[in-house]
Amino acid sequence: MKTEKSGYILSLDQGTTSSRAILFDHSGRIVSSSQRDFSQYYPEPGWVEHDAVEIWDSQLAVAREAIAAASIDPAEIVSIGITNQRETVVVWDKDSGKPVYKAIVWQCRRSNQICEELIDAGLEEEFRSRTGLRLDPYFSGTKLCWLFREIPGLKALAENGEILFGTIDSWLLWKLTGNHVTDVTNASRTLLFNIKEQKWDPVLLSILGIPVQVLPKVLASSDDFGYTDQKYFGREIPIQGVAGDQQAALFGHTCFEPGMAKNTYGTGCFTLLNTGSAPVWSKNNLLTTIAWKIGNQTTYALEGSVFIAGAVIQWLRDEVHLLSSAAESEQLAKSVSDTNGVFLVPAFVGLGAPYWDPDARGSIMGLSRGSGRAHIVRAALESIAYQSEDLLSSMSADCGHKIEVLKADGGATANQFLMQFQADISGVPVLLPEIAEITALGVAYLAGLKCGFWESLEDISRNWQIKCRYEPSMKLEEREKRITLWHKAIYATREY
Ligand SMILES: Nc1ncnc2c1ncn2[C@@H]1O[C@H](COP(=O)(O)OP(=O)(O)O)[C@@H](O)[C@H]1O
Ligand SMILES: O=P(O)(O)OC[C@H](O)CO
């Protein structure tokens, strides 16, 4: 019989648009939470920045609010986990602790030219075989290289050990504990980390001109990252779980066995497939990444990243004013029986996997005199599912069998039309968990495993409950016809 343990785990979930803190109990239930949005900066077309100080302030504030809302003594928090938007680059002064530049966000395309130079120099395979990633501005390495090229004197400061680099986890860890550390999952997204040897890769650092002394020490995902300074929560609390948010979601969904997959429907869509203890090198333009490391045991994943998913609905609401709320998209989509031939390809910042086309831009096609608001909104929602289907079919091709079940989470899973369309277009059941905050839960599990709050993966698996299940009902012939038309739309968009 399962026994409940007393105490709580605090998860800090630092996402692209908001900072959240959530307290979980032993059964994985949410005890309290708090969330704050922060500013997005778009200084030039295709550029995206955050203020690292605002991120820190908002993250600390929500952590304190969540603890206050639960009316608990901080002494009851047995451990803390940190999960974060990945790839985003922060560089700060070691002495003053001040960031030297705005955080360069994962969506930012400013290092595209550096990527092109490296591709032209024939270095793509060199990077891919060591990191599992592609030469795309998405990843941290070329963003850091851009800073060294553009900020006079920065490289010399780096060589003298006067500045530090980190992804968001590393920045928060440094603020909370004073330790300059990260975990393998975040390191595996930098384009600087050898995922087989699990160390910063000297060859890649030399190609990009990055001094090794700016890089954090890399730990496992369930590990001892340090203690929070007493001034933050009134006592020192150990931080024992760290993982990039997409890997944390895979863990939170308890996708512990090879072949298990999840898709997170947020700003973008991120599909991860557990491939077990050895990396699988994609033949279909997916990424190979570290899913988590517990003790000496590393689990790898195949990943497909779609840059614009729920963000297309935000765009329809905020820029085009076709919607008054994201939720309204569901009822509008259901008000018509199909898109009447309309396709929308939301390539606003290029296309991610499996196309990797940074120059593509969005399109709406197939318009006729009868096309209306509902058709366009429906086409936008369908585009989220079509893009995810492209990832799933690439994964199936890579691993030689169809994905049997897709576990889903993220803000856009609230849309029942979208979830049903995903099940239909992919011919796969889509499962939603009872606890929606699966990313935060995933890193709580990683922290809780380290301190013995949860004893094993089996112990954790018992907490996963299905909230609802969407069964595929579209005929195979219809599915294939629609996917063919979607690919025609992708082709036309890229040709433009
Ligand atoms: N009912 C809905 N239908 C479609 N999209 C939605 C709905 N509710 C929220 N979204 C989308 O989900 C995204 C927010 O999800 P969230 O998981 O919080 O994202 P992130 O963690 O990337 O900030 C937004 O892009 C929003 O447009
Ligand atoms: O913060 P999210 O949920 O938009 O996730 C961002 C990803 O980690 C980027 O790779």
Rounded to whole angstroms, how far apart are CA atoms 170 and 344?
37
Q: For the beta carbon of residue 39, count every other beta carbon within 10 angstroms.
A: 11
Rounded to whole angstroms, how far apart are CA atoms 57 and 332?
38
Please confirm whether the linkage preceding 358 is cis (ω < 30° from 0): no
| CATH 1.10.3480.10 given to domain 8-245 | no
Residues within a 6 A CB radius of ligand 2: 15-16, 85-87, 106, 244-246, 266-268
The torsion region of residue 417 among left (phi > 0), alpha (psi -120 to 50) and beta comes to alpha
| Contact of 77 with 156, CB cutoff 8 Å | no
Distances (CA, A) of 93 to 60, 182, 218, 344: 20, 17, 20, 44
Rounded to whole angstroms, how far apart are CA atoms 270 and 287?
11
Closest approach atom of ligand 2 to CA 439: 3
The DSSP code sequence of 340-371 is TT-EEE--BTBB-TTT-BTT---EEE---TT-
- For position 3, what pLDDT does the model report? 60
In the numeric block, which tokens belong to residue 407? 């576990």
Closest CA to 336 of 300, 299, 378: 378
Interval 433-472: pLDDT, tens = 998 899 999 999 999 999 999 999 998 998 888 999 999 9
Rounded to whole angstroms, how far apart are CA atoms 379 and 367?
11
By DSSP bridging, strand 430-433 and strand 217-219 are unpaired
Report the percent of the chain where pLDDT is more than 70.
99
DSSP state of 4: P
Give the N- to C-terminal CA distance of the chain in Å, as an integer.
61
Rounded to whole angstroms, how far apart are CA atoms 297 and 316?
44
Rounded to whole angstroms, how far apart are CA atoms 187 and 273?
19
Beta-carbon contacts of 495 under 8 Å, excluding residues fewer than 6 positions away, are none
Q: In testing the pocket of ligand 2, which one of 20, 86, 104 has its CB within 8 Å of the most ligand atoms?
A: 86
Q: For the beta carbon of residue 243, count every other beta carbon within 10 angstroms.
A: 34
Task: Report the pLDDT averaged over residues 144-161.
Answer: 95
Interval 394-419: pLDDT, tens = 999 998 888 999 999 999 999 999 99
- Could you give the 3-state DSSP secondary structure of residue 20? strand
- For position 401, what pLDDT does the model report? 81
Rounded to whole angstroms, how far apart are CA atoms 32 and 366?
47
Interval 288-310: pLDDT, tens = 999 999 999 999 999 999 999 99
Closest CA to 407 of 435, 383, 381: 435
CB hemisphere CA count around 118 (13 angstroms): 25
Distances (CA, A) of 142 to 161, 192, 376: 20, 9, 36
Closest CA to 64 of 7, 131, 10: 10
CATH code of the region 254-433+465-496 = 3.30.420.40
Placement of tokens 């512990």 in the chain: 256
Residue type, 466: I
Sign of CA dihedral 109, 87, 300, 440: negative
Q: Which ligand is nearest to the CA of 325?
A: 1
In this model, does residue 1 exceed pLDDT 80?
no
Rounded to whole angstroms, how far apart are CA atoms 12 and 23?
9
Q: Where in the chain is the domain with CATH 3.30.420.40?
A: 8-245, 254-433+465-496
What is the pLDDT of the chain when averaged over all its residues? 95
Placement of tokens 């059941």 in the chain: 429
CA of 383 to the centre of ligand 1 (A): 14
Q: In testing the pocket of ligand 1, which one of 85, 262, 263, 265 has its CB within 8 Å of the most ligand atoms?
A: 265
- For position 462, what pLDDT does the model report? 86
CA of 414 to the centre of ligand 1 (A): 8
Q: 87: annotated binding-site residue?
A: yes
Torsion of CA 145, 148, 150, 152, to 10 degrees: -170
Q: What band does 2 get if pLDDT is binned at 50, 70 and 90?
A: low
Closest approach atom of ligand 2 to CA 138: 10
- For position 465, what pLDDT does the model report? 87
Beta-carbon contacts of 57 under 8 Å, excluding residues fewer than 6 positions away, are none
Rounded to whole angstroms, how far apart are CA atoms 90 and 275?
30
- Could you give the 3-state DSSP secondary structure of residue 106? coil
Q: What band does 359 get if pLDDT is binned at 50, 70 and 90?
A: confident
Q: Which helix (H) or strand (E) holds 329?
A: helix 328-334
Closest CA to 137 of 121, 159, 115: 115
Whether the complex's predicted ipTM is more than 0.95 is answered with: yes
The torsion region of residue 46 among left (phi > 0), alpha (psi -120 to 50) and beta comes to left
Closest CA to 25 of 82, 78, 73, 83: 78
- For position 56, what pLDDT does the model report? 98
CA of 154 to the centre of ligand 1 (A): 37
Nearest CA to ligand 2 atom 3: 15
Rounded to whole angstroms, how far apart are CA atoms 198 and 187?
9
| Contact of 67 with 77, CB cutoff 8 Å | yes
Q: Which ligand is nearest to the CA of 105?
A: 2
| Contact of 82 with 12, CB cutoff 8 Å | yes
